[in-house]
A and B are shown apart, each in its own frame.
Chain A
Amino acid sequence: MRYRDIQLDESGRLRHFLSIEGLKRQMLMDILDYAENFITVGGRSIKKVPLLRGRTVTNLFFEPSTRTRTTFELAAKRLSADVLNINISTSATTKGESLLDMLRNLEAMHCDMFVVRHAQSGAAHFIARHVAPHIRVINAGDGSHAHPTQAMLDMFTIRRHKGEFADLRVAIVGDILHSRVARSQIHALTTLGVHEVRVIGPETLLPQRVEELGVHVCHHLPAGLEGVDVIIMLRLQRERMQGALIPSEREYFELYGLTEEKLAFAKPDVIVMHPGPINRGVEISSEVADGPRSVILEQVSNGIAIRMAIMSMIMGNRFGSEEEEQ
């Protein structure tokens, strides 16, 4: 069937990076291990390796983004690739036809990789299915579906602090319903074999039958944080109030905002994560966001290493390969 394993080539190697779902544990571990190599690159005075020299990476952003686009750009540049940034406002291009036309044009310019962000779930799969065979696609966030590089950088951050995944209890708090980050994190955490994943939020922000993704559902924040090693807070979009999903930011913060007080329910060595950008005083208090348990800024720097690892892996260029030795 043509729709199976579009991410993998015939020999099981990564050819696109679209979602965590469908990737095996060993593949995820490989990515994490390989990313360790790039952590040092950022600290050097010359922050470049020639793994993608002569390649063109196109950032194709149909949705505004600063952080993700910037880290992808930096990652590509540190791999010595040429980078093209294309920001398309969703209002100008919402038809698939022009999306495909745009892809054809970029193909004609001999791009090698598309990094895609799009407001529609499945957009990256759609693009991967319709690009020329030599082009690689990385999903930088599609609708509410997946944001796999974010999940991998989160796993990387967790591993750097906690070592093994097996005994961990992880709580994901907030708007799971609309969160592509949460979906990818859940797949990554369950694939890596953590002890327990809890999702915490009001019923209005939890998708139907979310338990089938392998998580425990909890509606009460203090109870849900009991004994957890990792807390992942999700961003609450302001427009959720209009959809009658929550009454107000005030009430949301009261119930699900992470404060020092609630943090005390978790393990003493808990780490607090957030994919950013954070809404201070809505989902997290400043004390916690800037406090000693927070690893939020570390996530950002790890994001560059993870993206360098994934980009070079899908282009088939690794340290020690011929390209590197040139």
Chain B
Amino acid sequence: MKLRIHGGRLIDPASGLDEIGTLCVADGRIVAAGESPEPFTADREIDAGGLVVCPGLVDLQARLREPGQEHKGTIESETAAAAAGGITTLCCPPDTDPVTDTPAVANLIQELARRAGNTRVLPIGAMTPGLRGEQICEMFILSQSGCVAFSNAERAIVNTEVLRRAMEYAATHDLTLFLRPQDPWLSANGCAHEGAVSTRLGLRGIPGFAETMEVARLLILAEQTGARIHLGPLSTARAIQMIGRAQYDGLPVSASVSAHHLHLTELDINDFDSRAYLRPPLRTQRDREGLHRGLVRGVIGAICSDHQPHDIDAKLAPFAESEPGATAVETLLPLSLRLADQGVLSLSEVIAALTWRPARILGIPAGTLSPGAAADICIFDPERYWTVAPETLISQGHNTPLMGWELKGRVTHTLLEGRLVYQLKG
């Protein structure tokens, strides 16, 4: 099977490519990017005139809800949504039910993903059994079973000794840890940024320093143990400064942010709009600017979706009783593209933060159009407007603070190993 994609603007930040050209794919691999090799007889052509052709997106954090919460989403439904968002590789956190703390669960997720065939799914294994923070998981065996990194998901490992040992152990076996920094006491029962909005609405706040306190603890332990850590999704400007400093000092620490936090603030909660109840909470405009700066300076390597689809009832409750999170895989690309429109990043830098930079954080050979790489490709129309509405979303969850927004930039084709897994209708 040979495929030629012609007429599109090829953008491959990994190789510095940005030109109108032709992309040739054979047997699921990229054969040439730019010039067509002679002779190349394609079985199929895609006319990408006016479109951008870039590597398939690599999403560091998307919850698929399976196993355990299939009423919110399934691997089949959410990977289909991800493919519609141009994502070809995604990582799913271990807070499934049962927790991804055994090879059986890791294998199940990958098997279901293979059967669905929409995207690559890389499970993130649990650092501690049941995420209880008491012992360490069989991280080596789990990594052999396909776990690409290890995490305790939303649950902080409170016992510093356990955390230290988990980090030492991960460092021993050269494994990456994904940590979401939030002090459990300072954030207990909180549901919004502690500040002007939480004060006005009488909502229990989560102060910005709930994040930086934990970042400090994690950075100190990373320095001690030599563990490679990835912090995210982050929400505060101060955390970015601290991580930037640690990177400057040579610590192997990377960071990510969700697309929502780059565009929304605490003000989007409005009068108790539970769709804007996210975790970490949406913070101030100053924090949002700090996150932008973190991307510009390269402190933040990746923009992730932090996809969290919910059933309808999950958001139908008074704000603090509703469940946090937003469905996000389909809005990840257009939201991120706004950064280019706003002049924060160049188009190529936006694509880098969605493709090869997250791939590099994971240490996987994805996110590039270099010849020889797997033909995971995203083709999108950068000028096409579309409205976020229940009927335009494929995800089982329709919970998004962007509902009703008009976004610019829409995926037209997604290819996984040269196979068309998504094509926009109409």
Contacts and interface: CB of A to CB of B under 8 A. Distances in A.
A97 B314 CA distance: 8
Contacts of B194: 208
Interface in A19-58: 21
B318 A122 contact: yes
A120 B313 contact: no
A95 B202 CA distance: 20
Contacts of A144: 202-204
A264 B320 CA distance: 42
Taking each of A3, A95, A96, which has the highest tally of chain B beta carbons within 10 Å of its own beta carbon? A96
What range describes how many residues of B lie at the interface? Answer: 20 to 34
A183 interface: yes
Interface string B316-341: 11111110000000000000000000
Contact of A210 (B199, B313, B320): B199
Interface in B190-216: 194-196, 198-205, 207
B321 A121 contact: no
Contacts of B317: 95-97, 99, 126
B202 A208 contact: no
A122 B271 contact: yes
Given A3-B270, A3-B271, A209-B195, A145 B201 contact: yes
Contacts of A3: 270-271, 273
Contacts of A125: 271-272
A58 to B, nearest CB: 18
B167 to A, nearest CB: 30
B198 A207 contact: yes
Given A21-B200, A145-B201, A95 B195 contact: no
Contacts, number: 84
Contact of A6 (B205, B271, B313): B271
A107 B154 CA distance: 39
Contact of A97 (B204, B207, B313): B313
A6 B207 CA distance: 29
A146 B273 contact: no
Interface in B263-319: 270-273, 313, 316-319
A115 interface: no
Nearest to A147: B202
Contacts of A248: none
Contact of A100 (B195, B201, B316): B316
A21 B207 CA distance: 24
A180 B202 contact: yes
Given A3-B270, A3-B273, A96-B322, A208 B199 contact: yes
Interface in B150-168: none
A21 B270 CA distance: 12
A237 interface: no
Contacts of B272: 121-122, 125-126
Contacts of A208: 194-196, 198-199, 205, 207
Contact of B319 (A4, A120, A210, A213): A120
Interface string A182-214: 010000000000000000000000011110110
A315 B198 CA distance: 31
Given A96-B317, A120-B321, A212 B199 contact: yes
Interface in B242-273: 270-273
A128 B228 CA distance: 49
A62 to B, nearest CB: 10
B270 to A, nearest CB: 5
A146 B202 contact: yes
B196 A95 contact: no
Interface string B127-166: 0000000000000000000000000000000000000000
A91 to B, nearest CB: 13
Contact of B318 (A21, A121, A210): A121
A135 B368 CA distance: 57
A94 B322 CA distance: 10
B202 A97 contact: no
Contacts of A130: 316
A92 B203 CA distance: 22
Contacts of A123: 318
A120 B318 contact: yes
Contacts of A94: 321
Contacts of B316: 96-97, 100, 130
Interface in B86-134: none
Interface in A51-102: 94-97, 99-100
A36 to B, nearest CB: 30
A122 B203 contact: yes
A95 B315 CA distance: 11
A307 interface: no
A235 interface: no
Contact of B201 (A95, A118, A122): A122
Interface in A134-172: 142-146
Contacts of B198: 207-208
For A96, A120, A122, A212, the residue with the greatest tally of chain B CB atoms inside 10 Å of its CB is A122
A96 B318 contact: yes
Given A209-B199, A210-B199, 17 more contacts: A1-B270, A3-B270, A3-B273, A4-B271, A96-B317, A121-B201, A121-B272, A122-B203, A126-B318, A126-B319, A146-B202, A208-B194, A208-B196, A208-B205, A209-B195, A212-B199, A212-B200
Q: Top 8 nearest A-B pairs by Cβ distance?
A: A96-B317, A144-B202, A122-B272, A145-B202, A120-B318, A207-B199, A123-B318, A121-B202
Interface of B: 194-196, 198-205, 207, 270-273, 313, 316-322
13 contacts: A3-B270, A94-B321, A95-B321, A99-B317, A122-B271, A122-B272, A122-B318, A126-B272, A130-B316, A180-B202, A207-B205, A208-B205, A209-B195
